[in-house]
Every structure is written in structure tokens, then in C-alpha cells.
């Protein structure tokens, strides 16, 4: 699967969900977020779910190295949301 230069070229949620490995899903969505500057809410939720799933097996620090994010960012994305966004 190629990385999308724009969100219009991004893979569908079904394409992303078809990837079995949560690290692969998180890595793909993180690359898209970096290239496009943002993710639509559905893809952001898929990335968070993939990171949560992968965090259980790999731990925060190891997962952060695999997907190219800081451990703090992994924790931020995977922490339970509290209240509405301001």
C-alpha cells in the first residue's frame, strides 16, 4: 500500500482495518498524518485503536520507536478521553 500525498488519496478505513498487525496500521496512519498534517476523525480513531492494541504487546517506549512518535505522544493518543474537547 502506498502512502497518500493528500487525504483524498488516503486509504479507506476498510483498507486500514484490513491490516492485521496493529503496529502496521498505526505506522501507516502516522505517516499519513505527517504528510497531510491531520487525520479525519475516523482515521484518527483507527490510529488510536491500533496504538492501544499494540501498546499492550510492545509497551509505550518500544512502540514509540517502532512508529516514530515520542512515548509522551503515544500516551496522549492512547489515554482515555475526559470530557468534551474545548
Q: What is the DSSP string of 22-84?
A: HHHHHHHHHHHHHHHS---HHHHHHHHHHHHHHHHHH-HHHHHHHHT--HHHHHHHHSPP-S-
Q: What is the pLDDT of residue 82?
A: 60
Output the nine-digit C-alpha cell for 26: 498505526
Task: Answer yes or no: is pLDDT of 70 > 90.
Answer: yes
64 or 82, higher pLDDT: 64
pLDDT at 64: 94
Using CB atoms within 10 Å of the CB of residue 43, give its burial: 0 to 12 exposed, 13 to 18 middle, 19+ buried: buried
pTM: 0.78
Domain ranges in the chain? 7-78
pLDDT given at position 13: 79
82 vs 45, residue with greater confidence? 45
User: Per-residue pLDDT for 4 more than 60?
Assistant: no
Amino acid at each position: 500500500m502506498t502512502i497518500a500525498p493528500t487525504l483524498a488519496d488516503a486509504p479507506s478505513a476498510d483498507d486500514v482495518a484490513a491490516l492485521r498487525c496493529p503496529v502496521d496500521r498505526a505506522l501507516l496512519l502516522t505517516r499519513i498524518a505527517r504528510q497531510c498534517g491531520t487525520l479525519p476523525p475516523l482515521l484518527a480513531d483507527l490510529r488510536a485503536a491500533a496504538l492501544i492494541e499494540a501498546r499492550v504487546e510492545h509497551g509505550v517506549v518500544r512502540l514509540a520507536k517502532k512508529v516514530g512518535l515520542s512515548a509522551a505522544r503515544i500516551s496522549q493518543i492512547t489515554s482515555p478521553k475526559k470530557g468534551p474537547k474545548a
